[in-house]
Amino acid sequence: MNEETELLILRYISGELSVDEIIQLKNIIANDDSARKLADEYLQIQQGIIQYERQQVKTDIAAMLATIPPQDIKDYKSSIAKSNFIHKIWSWIKSILTLFLVASIISVVLIYAGYFPIKNKYTAIIAKKLQHIEEYVPKETIITDTVFHTIYTSDPALKNADTIVVYENELHGKTPLEAIKEKAQSK
Amino acid sequence: MNEALIIAKVAAKDSSAFQYLYKEYFGMICHFITHNSGNEADAEDVFQDTLVLFYEKTLAADFQLHCSVKTFLYAICRNIWLKRLRNKQLNLAISDNEPFTDVETDEEADLHDGYLAKATQALAALGDKCRELLIHFFYYKKNMVQIAAEMNYANADTAKNQKYKCLQQLKKMTGNE
């Protein structure tokens, strides 16, 4: 690598190159490893100079500040303290709402998938009671021949959906419908 | 102290301006740092770096502040601290699963990691006049006419040639010639 290239690099780090000269230097660096390395070294030297003086300035400033007693430093109150408080409250509300939403979604999924523990608990109780009925109540004692009749009456004593029960021994030769009507009227 | 005066005094490296800024705003910076994983020593260090950067900004001939000094200082400080936190977290995140040995794997990495410190050390050992010239040019961004006048060179070209010689001398001192 010749002195001309080194001068070009020195002028480059000094910001003295024209656009054409920068392109020329880039071409040299692209094709010459030693030129690239030299440019790199000079750039590091340039940064080293800046760092060196920066450290000196920092030392000078630290010395200027060292003489100030702590009580002279102004008390600080955050200018965004209030909005911080409001922000915190809003964050809590958002967190709670999010929690409810997530819990609701999980509950719905569990119910539909049949994994919801409360549902399982009651299902088990009902299943147990049904089993009890089947095991301990003789089937022949259960009267399955139940007849439902809907009758229409203007009798104010009767209300909509009232249930009237007529036992077999109350029929006395009448049909079940006649017996129901009679009982409804006497109510 | 009004803001234009603060800037002018900071640019002139007047201690009264730095002391004023410290009294006024260190509390704010300290609050920020200590509420963001730092301590008071971190706050002192970051505040000094903040003032150095502020000083460097004021040196630029075209420097104009488009916000208050307080806002500007807070922004610089915040950037510095976030960068440091990021670096800390990166270090903490490293978890070796093999014994770690610090070796350079190639020449280029060695150049980048070690050369800056070497250059800084070499500068300290350089002659006073050379060091002053290079600092005037690269740190304070003075032009060669100003430097020639301040350092009693015959003219700007003489100063420029001297600058090249100083850079070459510095390069030799870093031991990479």
- From chain A, the residues in CB contact with B24 under 8 A are 74
Residue B175: is its pLDDT beyond 80? no
Q: Mean pLDDT over residues B104-126, rounded?
A: 60
- From chain A, the residues in CB contact with B139 under 8 A are 49-50, 53-54
Q: Mean pLDDT over residues B50-72, rounded?
A: 86
Q: Mean pLDDT over residues B149-171, rounded?
A: 90
Nearest by CB to B15, from A55, A64, A75: name it. A64
Q: For position A104, what pLDDT does the model report?
A: 92
Q: A43 and chain B: CB distance < 8 Å anywhere?
A: no
Q: What is the DSSP letter of A75?
A: P
The larger pLDDT score, comparing residue B64 to residue A81, is at: B64
Q: What is the pTM of this model?
A: 0.60
CB pairs under 8 A between A and B: 104
Residues A119, A123, A125: CA angle, nearest 5 degrees = 120
Q: How confident is the model at residue B98 (pLDDT cuts 50, 70, 90)?
A: very low
Q: For position B105, what pLDDT does the model report?
A: 30
ipTM value for the complex: 0.79
Q: Which of A29, A44, A59 to mutate to test the interface with B (most CBs of B within 10 A)?
A: A44
Q: A68 and chain B: CB distance < 8 Å anywhere?
A: yes
Q: Mean pLDDT over residues B49-74, rounded?
A: 87
Percent of chain B topping pLDDT 70: 83
User: Chain B: nearest CA to A60, how far in angstroms?
Assistant: 9
- Does the beta-carbon distance from A76 to B30 stay under 8 Å? yes
- From chain B, the residues in CB contact with A3 under 8 A are none
User: Chain B: nearest CA to A89, how far in angstroms?
Assistant: 19
User: Chain B: nearest CA to A119, how far in angstroms?
Assistant: 46
Nearest by CB to B19, from A41, A58, A65: name it. A65
- Cβ proximity of B108 and B62 under 8 Å: no
- From chain B, the residues in CB contact with A6 under 8 A are 168
- Does the beta-carbon distance from A74 to B23 stay under 8 Å? yes
Q: In chain B, whose CA is at the least distance from the CA of A56?
A: B52
User: Chain B: nearest CA to A29, how far in angstroms?
Assistant: 15
- From chain B, the residues in CB contact with A50 under 8 A are 138-139
Residue B148 CB: number of other CB atoms within 10 A?
20
Q: What is the pLDDT of residues B8-59, one digit of tens each?
A: 999 999 999 999 999 999 998 888 888 888 889 999 999 999 999 999 988 8
- Does the beta-carbon distance from A68 to B22 stay under 8 Å? yes
Rounded Cα gap, residues A14 and A34, in angstroms: 20
- Does the beta-carbon distance from B52 to A61 stay under 8 Å? yes
Instruction: Give me the tens of pLDDT residue by residue for chain A, a chain 187 residues long.
Output: 677 888 888 888 888 889 999 999 899 989 888 889 888 888 888 888 888 898 899 999 999 999 888 888 888 776 665 566 777 888 899 999 999 999 999 988 887 777 766 656 777 787 787 777 767 665 555 554 556 666 666 666 666 677 778 887 888 888 877 887 787 777 6
Residue B110: is its pLDDT beyond 60? no
**Per-residue three-class SS string for chain B:** CCHHHHHHHHHCCCHHHHHHHHHHHHHHHHHHHHCCCCCHHHHHHHHHHHHHHHHHHHHCCCCCCCCCHHHHHHHHHHHHHHHHHHHHHHHHHCCCCCCCCCCCCCHHHHHHHHHHHHHHHHHHHCCHHHHHHHHHHHCCCCCHHHHHHHCCCCCHHHHHHHHHHHHHHHHHHCCCC
- From chain B, the residues in CB contact with A36 under 8 A are none
Q: A46 and chain B: CB distance < 8 Å anywhere?
A: yes
Q: What is the pLDDT of residues B26-39, one digit of tens each?
A: 998 888 888 888 88
* Residue in the block written with tokens 């080293």: A48
Q: For position A143, what pLDDT does the model report?
A: 53
Q: How confident is the model at residue B103 (pLDDT cuts 50, 70, 90)?
A: very low
Q: For position A46, what pLDDT does the model report?
A: 86
- Does the beta-carbon distance from B23 to A47 stay under 8 Å? no
Query: How many helices (H) does chain B have, and how many strands (E)?
Result: 8, 0
Q: For position A120, what pLDDT does the model report?
A: 63
Q: For position B130, what pLDDT does the model report?
A: 92
Burial A142-154 (b: 16+ CB within 10 A, else e): eeeeeeeeeeeee
- From chain B, the residues in CB contact with A65 under 8 A are 18-19, 22, 48
* C-alpha gyration radius of chain B: 21
- Does the beta-carbon distance from A45 to B176 stay under 8 Å? no
